[in-house]
């Protein structure tokens, strides 16, 4: 299964709309999705309740909905940032893996390096002269 890079903007927006959905989008992690969804819903409900309570205090003359909206931003902005962060971490891990695999293939595929390793094993006494010649023959036949 080939993993793909994920768009951080989409991950952030999806995470804002449905708390924790970026974990499904990026990593298909249901456990983190469910815990973040439950926590996000509870925090959003608390902010709406608090915002409405502050709004209804008689001493304030704020436009209707301003206080709950401001408190919702306190929740939605971190959700957006969390979604972007999960996608960026996923993408950087993908880039590092691709780089490692490319480096590994070039070093393992090099016949000169293989011959050097075989010779070092022979010099250290880890393989006999006959094993050295057999392995050297295999590497040389690939050229």
Which pLDDT tens digit goes with each residue over 101-135? 666 655 555 777 788 888 888 888 888 888 888 88
- From CA 28, how far away is CA 44, in angstroms rounded? 24
Average pLDDT over residues 63-84: 89
Average pLDDT over residues 53-71: 79
pLDDT classification of 25: cutoffs 50, 70, 90: very high
Output the pLDDT for position 1: 43
User: What number of CA atoms fall less than 13 Å from residue 77's CA on the CB side?
Assistant: 6
Per domain, the residue ranges of the chain are 8-109, 110-143
Lowest mean pLDDT among 20-34, 75-89, 111-125: 111-125
Percent of the chain with pLDDT over 90: 37
Which token pair is 47? Answer: 């902010």
Which token pair is 61? Answer: 């003359």
Output the pLDDT for position 115: 82
User: What number of CA atoms fall less than 13 Å from residue 8's CA on the CB side?
Assistant: 11
């Amino acid at each position: 299964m080939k993993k793909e890079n994920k768009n951080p903007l989409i991950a952030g927006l999806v995470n804002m709309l449905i708390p924790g959905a970026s974990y499904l989008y990026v990593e298909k992690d249901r456990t983190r999705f469910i815990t973040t969804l439950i926590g996000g819903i509870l925090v959003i409900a608390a902010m709406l309740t608090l915002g409405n309570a502050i709004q209804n205090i008689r001493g304030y003359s704020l436009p209707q909905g301003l206080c709950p909206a401001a408190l919702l931003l306190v929740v939605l902005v971190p959700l957006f940032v969390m979604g972007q962060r999960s996608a960026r971490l996923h993408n950087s891990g993908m880039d590092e893996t691709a780089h490692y695999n490319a480096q590994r293939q070039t070093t393992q595929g090099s016949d000169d390096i293989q011959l050097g390793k075989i010779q070092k094993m022979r010099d250290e006494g880890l393989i006999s002269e006959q094993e050295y010649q057999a392995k050297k023959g295999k590497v040389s036949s690939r050229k």
